[in-house]
Homo-oligomer: A and B are copies of this chain.
Amino acid sequence: MSEDVATLLVSCPDRKGLVASLAQVLYGHGANILDSDQHSDPIASMFFQRLRFDLSSLTTDRTSLENGIREVGERFGMDWKLSYGNRVRRIAIFASKQEHCLYDLLLRHRAGELACEIAMVISNHPDAGPIAAHFGIPFHHLPVTAETKDHAEAAAIELTSSLDLIVLARYMQILSPAFVARFPSRIINIHHSFLPAFVGVNPYKQAYEKGVKLIGATSHYVTADLDQGPIIEQAVIRSTHRDLVEDLVRKGRDLEKQVLAHAVRCHLEDRILVYAGKTVVFD
């Protein structure tokens, strides 16, 4: 994202004049709207908007623009979040033994698909170390056993305290509620089923036993309830009677990579708003 571009995410009760007021305040400061997406939820009477605008032609400065937005925000009771393109998000990837999602994120980052700095890779297994090294990313090995669990989490909290986003790339440990509470709507997980079907362990085995004709993957924000957080993205692929559990695992890897990467990309581009346990994704 260009340095001179900013993104504004807004949610508030739906009322007349919202769109005009926001457009007016941006125009009044010389900010040129590049992109706008909005959504009105008629059931919840809620309004959501994403505005991306160019700051290079600003006739005032960022502080007075922010004051203008704040004034409108207070008038309409808005939750709003303004992100500047020149502030690079810093993220951590948590992985376990499975390497496909980790590699995928690192490769997409190198290809320029993910606008962030990958500050570190954290794993409870040493295997991810050489992978992180290959991409020049700092690696932290935090083994998790019954005895070390508390220590590992304390170390993880310290390492990630200043980060913007945690990505669980098939990380097989469950984070404590305390950890999760530190990153509201800022931890993204990939679950290898079409949620809400097949929560919990071994979803591919569950899918095999049920005999479904499609398998899925779901990326979601992590909340205190396991596999219950707001869904960001889902995809499926056909399966048949010929597929054993290991075939579902193989087919599912492609899904998991895409569904997780899509969610991370949307989050980094400020495309996601959370409301009532669901997401609005402006993609």
- Interface residue ranges, A against B (CB under 8 Å): 16-21, 23-24, 26-27, 30, 32-43, 48, 57, 99-100, 103, 107, 111, 113, 134, 194-198, 210-214, 216, 230-236, 240-242, 244, 250, 253-254, 258, 277-281
Contact = CB atoms under 8 A, between A and B. Distances in A.
A234 B214 contact: yes
Contacts of A32: 16-17
A195 B212 contact: yes
B234 A211 contact: no
B216 A281 contact: no
A1 to B, nearest CB: 14
A43 B234 CA distance: 30
Number of copies: 4
Contact of A38 (B36, B43, B210): B36
A216 B197 CA distance: 12
Contacts of A254: 258
Q: For chain A, what secondary structure do more than half of its interface residues adopt (helix, strand, loop), or is it mixed?
A: mixed
A281 B211 CA distance: 11
A258 to B, nearest CB: 6
Nearest to A24: B20
26 contacts: A16-B57, A17-B32, A19-B23, A20-B23, A20-B24, A20-B27, A33-B38, A34-B40, A35-B40, A37-B37, A42-B244, A111-B250, A134-B134, A194-B216, A195-B197, A195-B212, A196-B197, A196-B210, A211-B230, A213-B234, A214-B216, A214-B234, A214-B235, A214-B236, A236-B236, A241-B278
Nearest 4 interchain pairs by C-beta:
A211-B278, A20-B27, A20-B23, A197-B197
Contacts of A212: 195-196, 231, 234
A278 B206 CA distance: 13
